[in-house]
Amino acid sequence: MLEYETVVTRREQLDEIGLTAAEVGSVLDAVADVVEPVVLRFLWRPQLKDPDDEMVLETAVNGGADRIATFNTRHLSEAARAFGIRTERPVAIWREIQGGRI
């Protein structure tokens, strides 16, 4: 959650998604209320060029995720696909959740 907060509240990210830092904080608070902790039972490293991204992939794999919401699809997509996980930009997932209304 701290990683999400750090990245998504960067000025360029806020400009991209059209939200304020306070609005992002509200969304992250709502997410924190419903997430289930994932215990890392297996480490799949190395899979990615950027070691800082490994934790994201490992969490998704160990948590049984079917997709990863990320602005970093370029780095995660290929490795995630190997585990049957799709990567999509957050706005695409948000549109899907909203039934295509944005």
**pLDDT tens, position by position, 28-72:** 999 899 988 888 777 778 888 888 889 889 999 999 999 999 989
Pair of tokens at residue 10: 């960067």
8 and 31 belong to one structural domain:
yes
| Of 81, 78, 41, 75, residue with least CA distance to 58 | 41
30 and 65 belong to one structural domain:
no
- Supply the pLDDT for residue 12: 94
22 and 63 belong to one structural domain:
no
CB 14 within 8 A of CB 27: no
50 and 91 belong to one structural domain:
yes
31 and 45 belong to one structural domain:
no
23 and 60 belong to one structural domain:
no
Domain that holds residue 8: 1-35
Q: What is the mean pLDDT of the chain?
A: 88
The whole-model pTM stands at 0.65
- Supply the pLDDT for residue 101: 58
6 and 18 belong to one structural domain:
yes
Number of domains in the chain: 2
- Supply the pLDDT for residue 96: 85
